[in-house]
């Protein structure tokens, strides 16, 4: 499995996942279709499927044009609001692209129909990968727009937080802070809402309430025109005194 990371817009990425034996390719979160097709042509692969994490324009706006340019393309996701959707996925559904397995994980919080995608290959030494869209980011998480704090807590800690710790959240040439799930569990306070230092900082006890308090605290540091970059999110966690210690395996 080869993952090409394609920077688009100001701070977003598209992904091209390539099955290296069959040369089949799957795209994740298509925002700029012509840029994606340039990479497809350069890699000499056959693009068959688009996986969309959620319906927001910066993750799905390229679906319609791409479907027009590539008739028969499958556009998959969990939300009917996703542009050019051909089939709606459900939580726990598994897909197969050659040797690549994909498990679909519903992760509401940022949006009610947000789906993350966990990919792995059997008998492969490379670690698995997860494409979490705006559900989970480096040292942070997306804004809670449509779901409850409890739903977002379950998405982050029970669904994404329970994946293998070696799971990667970025690959190859991604121009940002490298991250694995084990690292996120160490310094991402939004994944550590049940731990005493984080609870003490927020003054809350219930995990969902801790998460809600963290989101409000973060908002006070953010300006709409200048979202926090991964390095700044990690520094904020350090400033809050919320860095943890490595978990025992």
CATH (domain of 53): 3.60.15.10
- Does 131 fall in a domain? yes
Write the pLDDT tens digit of every residue in 75-128: 999 999 999 999 999 999 999 999 999 999 999 999 999 999 999 998 888 899
With respect to residue 241, please indicate whether it lies within any of the assigned structural domains: no
49 DSSP β-pair partners: 26, 74
Give the chain's residues under pLDDT 70: 170-178, 222-249
Which pLDDT does position 234 carry in this prediction? 58
What is the C-alpha separation between 78 and 85, in angstroms, rounded? 9
**Total of domains in the chain:** 1
d(CA 224, CA 56): 17
Tokens for 16?
């091209």
Q: Which domain holds residue 71?
A: 2-219
Nearest to 5 by CA among 36, 33, 34: 36
Domain assignment present for 237? no
- Those residues with Cβ within 8 angstroms of residue 21's Cβ, 6 or more apart along the chain or in another chain: 98, 99
Residue 12 is predicted with a pLDDT of 83
Query: Hey, CA dihedral for 76, 156, 61, 25, is it positive or negative?
Result: negative
**pLDDT attached to residue 7:** 87
User: Does residue 127 fall inside a structural domain?
Assistant: yes
DSSP assignment of 72-91 equals T-EEEES-TTSTT--EE--T
Contacts of 37 (CB under 8 A, 6+ apart): 47, 66, 69, 70
């Amino acid at each position: 499995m080869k993952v090409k990371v394609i920077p688009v817009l100001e701070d977003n990425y598209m992904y091209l996942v390539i099955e290296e034996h069959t040369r089949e390719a799957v795209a994740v979160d298509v925002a700029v279709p012509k840029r994606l097709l340039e990479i497809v042509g350069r890699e000499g692969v056959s693009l068959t499927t688009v996986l969309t994490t959620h319906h927001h324009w910066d993750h799905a706006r390229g679906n319609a044009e791409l479907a027009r340019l590539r008739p028969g393309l499958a556009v998959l996701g969990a939300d009917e609001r996703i542009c050019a959707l051909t089939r709606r996925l459900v939580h726990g559904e598994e897909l197969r692209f050659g040797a690549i397995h994909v498990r679909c994980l519903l992760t509401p919080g940022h949006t009610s129909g947000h789906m993350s995608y966990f990919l792995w290959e059997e008998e492969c030494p490379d670690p698995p990968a997860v494409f979490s869209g705006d559900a989970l980011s480096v040292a942070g998480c997306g804004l809670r727009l449509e779901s409850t704090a409890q739903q977002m807590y379950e998405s982050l800690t029970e669904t994404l937080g329970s994946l293998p710790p070696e799971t990667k959240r970025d690959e190859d040439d991604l121009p940002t802070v490298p991250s694995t799930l084990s690292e996120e569990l160490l310094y991402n306070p939004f994944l550590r809402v049940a731990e005493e230092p984080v609870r003490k900082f927020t003054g809350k006890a219930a995990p969902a309430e801790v998460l809600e308090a963290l989101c409000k605290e973060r908002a006070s540091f953010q300006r709409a025109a200048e979202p926090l970059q991964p390095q700044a999110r990690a520094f904020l966690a350090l400033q809050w005194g919320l860095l943890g210690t490595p978990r025992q395996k």
